[in-house]
Structure 1
Amino acid sequence: MVDGEWAEQRERAIRAHASAAEARRDAEVAEARELMRGFVREAGERGIAAEELTAVPFGGGPGRLRTGLRGWYLRADRSVAVGTDAEFYSLTAPGGLWARLTGVTLAPSRPRLIVGEGGRDGESMPLAELLKRRLGDESVGSDG
């Protein structure tokens, strides 16, 4: 095989692999979004009230920042939440005086089926499990 042909074949394989990986990520996001829509529906039916969501400044620091969002925290440290819009939010933002005075605007994150995947040991947990715990039972995801 000529070097040019080999390089072209290799490039096609790399593109195909990247495309397949992106398709897997898109499918994972779609599944996670469906879980979150079910959670929001179930929380509403059960009367589990949404609350004002706040963010912590990047790098820590005292206090929390207003976000203008309402939803349900999924972790005790209030680092992630599901909004009433059934979107997933990572609750960290740039801090500073202006952010403390005016609040911050957060964009939703692409949800993953494993929250915290790739983080430190003990920090990752299946999204479905976090949602079940927030509801206080095992109902989310069990009825399809």
Structure 2
Amino acid sequence: MDEWGRRRREAAEDRAALLERRRRAEHARAGEMLRTFVAAAGRAALAPERLRVQSYDGRTTARTGLSGWYLRGDRTVAVGTDGRFYVLTARLTPLDRLRGTTVPPADPPLVIGAGGKDGDSLALAAALTRLLPGWDD
């Protein structure tokens, strides 16, 4: 490989490493916000609710073993009482709708729906403040 090609490859690797560090830092900050919110919700006696997963088309839902608070009005994302972030849309089978399903936690974003359609993004802090004003004081 010539010198120019090697430098380009190294620059690309450096850029990828930088982006990965930024992504991890964002998830760490968002995770800390969620944990702080859950602690504040407990102190304020903000009652959690049982979380449900909805199908991708939004027509059907399934139970989960999770409790928490929905972060968006469309109930597609939530913070669990465990302080973790959950995406609550999935491909649901008839058996899922009957028995319920499990939802793995996801990496929390600082902006929910970033990169989506205009008006679909929501700052995590704003979503949490809507649920419990003053949670971050």
The 5-angstrom pairing of residues 91-130 of structure 1 reads 91-130=88-127
Q: Which residue, 47, 53, 56 being the options, matches 1:55?
A: 53
What is aligned with 1:19?
A: 17
What is aligned with 2:68?
A: 71
Please report the RMSD computed on the Cα atoms of aligned residues, expressed in angstroms: 1.1
What is aligned with 1:134?
A: 131
Distance in 2 (CA, whole Å) between partners of 1:112 and 1:100 is: 28
Shift of 1:140: 3.2
Given that 1:54 and 1:66 are in contact with CA atoms closer than 8 Å, whether structure 2 keeps it comes out as yes
Given that 1:29 and 1:110 are in contact with CA atoms closer than 8 Å, whether structure 2 keeps it comes out as yes
Distance in 2 (CA, whole Å) between partners of 1:98 and 1:52 is: 19
Give the 3-state SS of the residue equivalent to 1:76 in structure 2.
coil
What is aligned with 2:8?
A: 10
Percentage identity across paired residues of the two chains:
46
What is aligned with 1:80?
A: 77
Given that 1:50 and 1:72 are in contact with CA atoms closer than 8 Å, whether structure 2 keeps it comes out as yes
Amino acid at match of 1:57: S
Unaligned runs of 5+ in 1: none
List structure 1 runs of 4+ shifted beyond 3 angstroms.
none
What is aligned with 1:39?
A: 37
Given that 1:128 and 1:140 are in contact with CA atoms closer than 8 Å, whether structure 2 keeps it comes out as no
Give the 3-state SS of the residue equivalent to 2:2 in structure 1.
helix
TM-score by length of 2: 0.95
Given that 1:93 and 1:104 are in contact with CA atoms closer than 8 Å, whether structure 2 keeps it comes out as no
Amino acid at match of 1:28: E
Unaligned runs of 5+ in 2: none
Distance in 2 (CA, whole Å) between partners of 1:45 and 1:60 is: 33
Give the 3-state SS of the residue equivalent to 1:59 in structure 2.
coil
Distance in 1 (CA, whole Å) between partners of 2:102 and 2:114 is: 25
Amino acid at match of 1:81: A
